[in-house]
Amino acid sequence: MANLFELQKKIAAVREQIETESKDLTDSKMVYEMRKVFLDKTGKVGQLMRYMKDVDPSQRAEFGKTVNELKNWALDYFGSLDEKMRKAELQRVYKSEQIDITMPAHTHVQGNLHPVTQVRNQLIDVFSGMGFEIYEGTEVENDYYNFTALNTPKDHPARDMQDTFYLSPEFVLRTQTSSAQIHVMENEKPPIKILSPGKVFRSDDDATHSPMFSQMEGLVVDKGITLGDLQGMLDVFVKKVFGQETRTRLRPSYFPFTEPSVEVDVSCFECGGTGCSFCKHTGWIEVLGAGIVNRKVLENCGIDPDVYSGLAFGIGIERVAMLKYGINNIKQLFESDLRVLNQINDR
């Protein structure tokens, strides 16, 4: 017969072993493994029951109770140890995943649209708000659309106004987006309200001229269109693009396809119109050509000039960009120098 006192020492030794060995545990997985060693069916605590048969029957109840107490204690012990470890583990995760919101953010360099595209979009925005639709013509035109139909027949002195690149006696690189007017009027009945942006080409090259540049043509044909309509529309455009204080002025001019023809000036946005070096002390800056569509042009397109009248305008997009952003050499718009382009981000 085993002595109960001896057996109780064994039980106490198991408890001590648990307490000692558990000091080295560092995570919940280790707790789980150790718990198995002691509390599984064949674990060290359960094994103590094997001594039951050696215990005097009168002391078996007492022995069983003591082993059970150990078991319950061990269950609690591992339970709270496990909880402690899990808490610590969570803290470690929180710590490692902590975000330092005071760290400077990564910045991404964002590109921007080319100034010419920005101005083109601004113009389209303004005029489409007035109901204009876009018609894009072609860069290669025949002589008829670029000149003759626009009331500029061969040998007309106005052909000298534009130095033309001839591809053949018949075809040219268009010198003006005005050619789009003819295509539209040949194909559509009034009312017509179109805007035609695009590249044009002229053998011309200095600080303010480039062999390739962009224009934006406008054409409105309807009953009773007058210069007043033209001035009203251009006023809106000029205020949007150059600022609300800007005023417009029409000056008589000459284009073969308009009669009367005007040059549109805006009040100088540098000095407000009092005169400065930017506006050559005139207070005004010339921005575009315009006029009332010549009767002959309407007739060429099969539109009755006694019923309909039209207004037209042609805006130089690079010219607007240069004025607006203070660029004094048109080449800067074609050199792709990021030091220039990065400064202009107007959307």
The end-to-end CA distance of the chain, in Å, is 98
| 8 A C-beta contact, residue 184 and residue 156 | no
Closest to ligand DAH by CB, 88 or 134: 134
Least separation in angstroms between residue 158's CB and ligand DAH is 10
Closest to ligand DAH by CB, 115 or 289: 289
Closest to ligand DAH by CB, 39 or 158: 158
CA distance 116 to 212: 12
Least separation in angstroms between residue 213's CB and ligand DAH is 10
Show the tokens assigned to 40.
Answer: 């599984």
Least separation in angstroms between residue 178's CB and ligand DAH is 4
Least separation in angstroms between residue 271's CB and ligand DAH is 27
In sequence order, what are the residues at sequence separation of 6 or more whose Cβ sits closer than 8 angstroms to the Cβ of residue 164? 146, 172, 173, 175, 202, 203
Query: What phi and psi, each to the nearest 5 degrees, are found at residue 172?
Result: -130, 160
Closest to ligand DAH by CB, 14 or 216: 216
Q: Is 346 exposed, middle or buried (0-12, 13-18, 19+ CB in 10 A)?
A: middle
Least separation in angstroms between residue 141's CB and ligand DAH is 13
Closest to ligand DAH by CB, 248 or 258: 258
Least separation in angstroms between residue 193's CB and ligand DAH is 14
Chain CA centroid to CA 287, Å? 29
Closest to ligand DAH by CB, 217 or 246: 217
Q: Quick check: bond before 157 cis, omega within 30?
A: no
The residue number whose beta carbon is nearest to ligand DAH equals 314
CA distance 335 to 347: 20
Closest to ligand DAH by CB, 201 or 313: 313
Contact residues for ligand DAH (CB under 6 A)? 176, 178, 217, 255, 258, 289-291, 312-314
Least separation in angstroms between residue 259's CB and ligand DAH is 10
Closest to ligand DAH by CB, 219 or 268: 219
Show the tokens assigned to 206.
Answer: 């200095």
Least separation in angstroms between residue 173's CB and ligand DAH is 13
User: What Cα–Cα distance (Å) separates residue 72 from each residue in 75, 121, 198, 306, 331?
Assistant: 5, 80, 89, 110, 90
Query: What phi and psi, each to the nearest 5 degrees, are found at residue 249?
Result: -145, 135
DSSP string, 187-212: H-PSSEEEEEEEEEE-S--BTTB-SE
Residue listed under structure tokens 């000095």: 271
In sequence order, what are the residues at sequence separation of 6 or more whose Cβ sits closer than 8 angstroms to the Cβ of residue 56? 1, 4
